[in-house]
């Protein structure tokens, strides 16, 4: 199990600091609260391709994509974050370090 996949076992209401990939590939620290819901959302490839259905081609590795429902700190609405694709890692608790909102 990858470190980011351990988020699926966390109970609702857990405060976490996520490391996500920004639009230009830079890592961002985002503070959020888990909402306790996960869902299967297609497949992705190691090089960055994503699809709703698995691809049956030689040398193509289909990795299951899961999403977790989180609500960012100081935000009203929750949103889905892709585990392993957008969400790279997380740690429990909120740091007081500079964290940027996820757009």
Does residue 73 form part of some domain?
Answer: yes
Does residue 29 form part of some domain?
Answer: yes
Domain extent for 82: 3-92
What average pLDDT does the structure give for the chain?
84
The CATH number assigned to the domain holding 65 equals: 2.30.30
pTM of the model: 0.76
Does residue 40 form part of some domain?
Answer: yes
The rounded distance, in Å, linking the Cα atoms of 70 and 47 is 25
Does residue 44 form part of some domain?
Answer: yes
What's the pLDDT at 98? 59
What's the pLDDT at 60? 82
11 and 36 Cβ atoms separated by less than 8 Å: yes
Does residue 98 form part of some domain?
Answer: no
More confident residue, 23 or 95: 23
DSSP secondary-structure letter at 70?
A: E
**Domain total of the chain:** 1
């Amino acid at each position: 199990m990858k470190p980011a996949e351990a988020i699926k076992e966390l109970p609702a209401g857990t405060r976490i600091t996520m490391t996500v990939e920004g639009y230009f590939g830079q890592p961002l620290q985002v503070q959020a609260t888990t909402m306790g819901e996960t869902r299967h959302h297609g497949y992705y490839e190691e090089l960055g391709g994503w699809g709703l259905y698995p691809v049956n081609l030689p040398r193509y590795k289909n990795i299951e994509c899961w999403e977790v429902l989180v609500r960012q700190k100081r935000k009203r609405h929750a949103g889905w974050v892709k585990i392993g694709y957008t969400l790279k890692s997380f740690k429990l608790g909120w740091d007081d370090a500079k964290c940027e909102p996820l757009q």
